[in-house]
Amino acid sequence: MLEEKTKKKRRLHLIAIQGDIVEYCIEKQPDDFLFPSKKTDSHISTTQTYRILVATREWIGRRDIGTPTMRKTFGYHYYKRTKDVYTLMEIFGHASPTITKRYIEICEDEIADRLKDFRL
């Protein structure tokens, strides 16, 4: 896959959701798009994906759902579970662990967590 923003090659690791993908694709033909457009003979656009997320968040009464939010949320929970900032840095294509931690807003959480029981 080629990243739209950076034009870098990106490998997708989908093994964790392989069963869901297989189930979703049961009725599909090999040349079918996973998310076909209703207007064209192509796939949905990134703009349409955004519109779907906006409609979904409005339907459930939330304002904090979007593609950047989902990416950051994944990163936050991945880091909290694994403490592996270097793999996360590679996943996001960041140049340093500091950038990744700032991106997922982990620095303030870590500082608060480390200081909560600190006594002189």
Is the predicted pLDDT of residue 107 greater than 80, yes or no?
no
Q: What's the structural domain count of the chain? A: 1
The answer as to whether 73 is a domain residue is yes
Per residue in 42-64, pLDDT (tens digit) is 999 988 988 998 899 999 998 88
What is each CA distance from 54 to 41, 59, 76, in whole angstroms?
24, 9, 22
The answer as to whether 41 is a domain residue is no
CB 23 within 8 A of CB 16: no
The answer as to whether 83 is a domain residue is yes
Confidence of residue 82 (pLDDT cuts 50, 70, 90): very high
What token pair was written down for 67?
Answer: 């593609």
Is the predicted pLDDT of residue 74 greater than 70, yes or no?
yes
More confident residue, 117 or 79: 79
Give SS3 for 28. Answer: coil
Is the predicted pLDDT of residue 2 greater than 70, yes or no?
no
Is the predicted pLDDT of residue 35 greater than 80, yes or no?
yes
The answer as to whether 115 is a domain residue is yes
Is the predicted pLDDT of residue 28 greater than 80, yes or no?
yes
The boundaries of the domain holding residue 75 are 66-120
Q: What is the pTM of this model?
A: 0.64
